[in-house]
Structure 1
Amino acid sequence: MAVTPSLGPPRKQRDTARTLLEAMAHDAVRSGFELEPSQWQAAQRLATFGAQLTGRRRALPRKPTRSLYLHGPVGRGKTWLMDSFYGRLEARKRRVHFHDFFRRLHGGTHGLDSGNGTAIQQSVDAVLNDVDVLFFDEFHVHDIGDGMFISRLLRTAAQRRVALVVTSNYAPDDLLPNPLWHEHFLPTIEAIKDMMDVVEINGGSDFRRYPAAGTHPSTGAGAFRSGRIISPGAPGQLGRLGLFRPTPSQGRVLQPTTQPIVVKNSDPDLLWVGFEELCGGLSSTSDFLVLGGMFRTWVIDDVPSPTDADAASAPAWQRFSNVVDVLYDQDITLFLIGSVPLDFDVEGSGNVLPVDLARIASRLSLLSRSHPDEDLKREEAAGS
C-alpha cells in the first residue's frame, strides 16, 4: 500500500508551537512591551524548535532536532527570549551561563585522571547528562583552550543528540576573533553552522539602556544596579557612599585558584582591589568566579579611561570585561573608581578594546554615576 508523504509537521506539533509562541508573546505583554519583528521571528523559530523537541520522543527512529544559535547586538532581548522559552518548555533541560559553564568544566577536571583526556570528557558528560536540550547564554570564545572545550561539547552533544540553544553577541564567523587563533577555530565554526540554525536578532534599540515605552523596570541584577561609577573618587564622594579608602596595612594577597592577587582590602563582605592588580596580571575568569562567591560587594579603583587603551592593555580590558560579566551574572554590587570620567561607549584607538566592551558598556549603563559637581550641589541644597 502506497503511503502518502507528509506535507508538513503533524497537527500536534503545530499546536505545540502555536502554544509556545503565544506564551512568549504573553510574557512580553506582561513585561510591558511587544516583540519587535526580529524578536518575533526568533520566537517563532524557538516555538518550532520546542515543538520538534517534544515531538521527537514519539518518533522512531529518534530524529535529532537542529540546534539554535541566536545572535545580535547587546540588549536586543536574546537572553529574555531564552528565559521566557526556557520557562515554558516542558523537556529535560539545563541552562548555563558561559562563565559558569567553564567553571564547571575546569572544576570537574580537578582530581580526575587526565592522562588520556578522559577528564575533559567526563566534565562535558556531566553537563550533558540527563538533558534533551542545553541552553547556553552569552556564548563567546576568546581563548583557544576554551575553544577546545567547545569543540568537545559540540561533538558530544551531537553524538548524544542533545540539542543546544545558544545566545551570543557574535555571529559564528566572528567567534575567537584573535587573528593568531581564529584559523584554528574555523573547523568548529563550520560545525556550529552545520548543526545549528543561525537566527539574528537585530532590532534598533538596546532595551537594557533605553527600555521601550511602558516597559516595566527589570527586577534582575538588583544588587548590581545599586553600584556606582565614581570620578574622581574624592574622600567626600566615597564617604557619602559608605566607602573609605583602605590603609596599606589592610592589604592582602588572595589566591582564589592558582594565581595570587594583591588586594587592598578583603573584609568579610567587601573586596577592594586595583584595576591593574585584578586585570593586569594572569588572573582568569575562574579566579573572578571564586571571588564572586566570597564577596558580595566589589570596589575596583584606579580604573583607567578606555579612551587611553592601547595594544599593550588589551588583555587587561578583556579580563575587565570578564569581571563585569561575572558580577552582573551573579548580581554583585560593583563600584568603579576612576580619576577621570569613565566612558565605556568607545571603540578605542586601533580597535584594541575587546568586542565584548559593547556588552559591558550596556551592563555598566545600569550603574548610576557620581561626579563631584553633582555631589557639591546636593550638599549645598541640603545646607540651604
Structure 2
Amino acid sequence: MTTVIEAYRQGVAEGRLKPDPAQETVLDALERVRHGLAQPPVKKGLFRKATYEPVKGLYLWGGVGRGKSMLMDLVYSMVDVPKRREHFHAFMQWVHNELAKARADGVEDAIGPVAENLAKDVRFLAFDEMQITDITDAMLVGRLFEKLFDAGVTIVTTSNRVPDDLYKNGLNRQLFLPFIALVKDRMEIRELVSDTDHRQGRLQDTKRYFTPLNAENRAAVRAIWDDFAGDQGHPLVLRVKKRDVTLPGFCNGVARATFFDLCGKMLGAGDYLAIAEAVRVLIIEEIPALSRSNFNEAKRFVTLIDALYEAKVEVICSAASEPETLYLEGEGVFEFERTASRLREMQDANWGKEPK
C-alpha cells in the first residue's frame, strides 16, 4: 500500500509537485489519516457487530498558496472509503437545505437526523477553506460536528485561520467557543509554515488584465483558468442572508465568473464581501464599457472591486478597455477613478502577497 509520503515524493519526482520542506513536515499527519481509514473493522465482544475504529481528523491551516488544498486532495485520492469533498461554504449550504427539508417534514430538532443520514453515507469528509462568517452557521456547526465525530466520521479541513480565530469578532461569539474546543479535542491541529506561496509563483509573471475583448485575450484568460483548475472546476454556491450567490467556476480558492454573473444581478456589498472571503483569486471575464446605460451594473462593479481590494484578493480581468477608459461618460465617472486606480494597482505582481 502506497503511503502519502511515497505518493508525494513520486509526484515531486514526476514533476507534478514542487518540493517544499514545509509541506513534508505535515505528511505524517495525512498518512495517519490514510492509514487509519484503511484498517478493517474490528469486533469488540462476542455478539457485537464489527465496527471501524474512529480516526482522529486533521485541521490544516496556514497562509494562502502554501499547498494545503493540494495536500488534502492527495490524501483524499488515496482514501478508499465512502467519502465527500467540498468547499466549506458549499457544504454549509447543503446543510441548511437538508435542515429545511427535515423541518418541512415536521422534525423539530433537525440537526440530529441530518448528521445521522450524512454519517450513513460517508466515513471521510474533506473541507476546503473552513471559515465561519455567518451567525447561523456559527450556531449550528458545533452540534453538527459533534454528532458527526460521535458517529465515527473523520474530517480533514484546510483553513487560513488558526482555530482560535474562527468567527473572530462575530456576534455572540461566546456561544461559538465550545466548537473551537471541540475542534481542538477531536482533530489534530497542524500549521503549514512555508515561505513559498505556490499560487503566487504561478501568477508572478502572468499578465492580469486583458483588453480588448477579442478571441486572443479570451483564450489567454481561459488558459489561466485551465492552469489553475484543469477539469476540476465546479460551481461554488455561497449562502448570503438566505440567498444563493453562485460563482460558475471554482477550484482550490480560484474562482471564475463573468461581469454579468457578478454585476448584472441584484447583488450588494454583503454578497461581494462573502465572495472576497471565499476566494483567493477571482477571474472576471467580459467587463464591458461602462456608462449611464449600465449605471447600476457599474455601481455594483465599484462595490465589488472595493471588497476584493480590501480583502487582498488577486484579480484577473478581460475587459473592453484599460481601467482608465472603462467609464468615460455619465454619472459616477468621478467615483470610478478610484476603481480604475485600484484595478491598476491590483495588476502588480506583488499584489495579494500579504496573508488575508
Equivalent residues of 2:276, 2:307 under 8 A apart: no
Counterpart residue type for residue 34 of structure 2 = G
Counterpart residue type for residue 173 of structure 2 = H
* 1:318 correspondence with 2:273: yes
How many residue pairs end up in the alignment?
A: 275
Q: Which of 183, 189, 194 is residue 198 of structure 1 equivalent to?
A: 189
Counterpart residue type for residue 37 of structure 2 = L
Aligned match of 2:70: 80
What's the offset of the Cα at 1:171? 0.7
Counterpart residue type for residue 100 of structure 2 = H
Structure-2 change in CA distance of 1:229 and 1:182 (3 Å): farther
Aligned match of 1:297: 258
Q: Which of 135, 148, 155 is residue 126 of structure 2 equivalent to?
A: 135
Equivalent residues of 1:128, 1:134 under 8 A apart: no
Structure-2 change in CA distance of 1:63 and 1:120 (3 Å): closer
Structure-2 change in CA distance of 1:286 and 1:86 (3 Å): farther
Aligned match of 1:69: 59
* 1:49 correspondence with 2:10: no
For structure 1, the residue ranges without an aligned partner over 5 or more in a row are 1-15, 218-224, 231-236, 243-278, 303-312, 349-356, 376-384
For structure 2, the residue ranges without an aligned partner over 5 or more in a row are 45-50, 217-237, 250-255, 288-297, 327-356
Question: Which of 1 and 2 has greater Rg?
Answer: 1
Aligned match of 1:288: 245
* 1:81-101 CA-partner distances (Å, limit 9, x unpaired): 111211122222211211221
Q: Which of 95, 100, 107 is residue 85 of structure 2 equivalent to?
A: 95
What's the offset of the Cα at 1:285? 7.5
* 1:103-151 CA-partner distances (Å, limit 9, x unpaired): 2112223343365534333333343332221111111101221023311
Q: Which of 174, 177, 180 is residue 186 of structure 1 equivalent to?
A: 177
Counterpart residue type for residue 171 of structure 2 = L
Equivalent residues of 1:38, 1:201 under 8 A apart: yes
The separation in 1 between residues aligned to 2:183 and 2:127, in whole angstroms, is 13
| Sequence identity (%) | 28
The separation in 2 between residues aligned to 1:207 and 1:145, in whole angstroms, is 34
* 1:27-52 CA-partner distances (Å, limit 9, x unpaired): 34434443312211222210122112
SS at match of 1:158: helix
Counterpart residue type for residue 51 of structure 1 = H
> Which of 30-39 and 47-56 deviates more?
30-39
Counterpart residue type for residue 121 of structure 1 = G
Aligned match of 1:371: 322
Taking structure 2 as the reference length, what is the TM-score of the superposition? 0.63
Structure-2 change in CA distance of 1:49 and 1:345 (3 Å): same
* 1:107 correspondence with 2:97: yes
Equivalent residues of 2:142, 2:179 under 8 A apart: yes
The separation in 2 between residues aligned to 1:69 and 1:152, in whole angstroms, is 18
The separation in 1 between residues aligned to 2:40 and 2:61, in whole angstroms, is 26
Equivalent residues of 1:68, 1:165 under 8 A apart: yes
RMSD over equivalenced CA pairs, Å: 4.2
The separation in 2 between residues aligned to 1:319 and 1:94, in whole angstroms, is 23
The separation in 2 between residues aligned to 1:316 and 1:32, in whole angstroms, is 36
Equivalent residues of 1:49, 1:66 under 8 A apart: yes
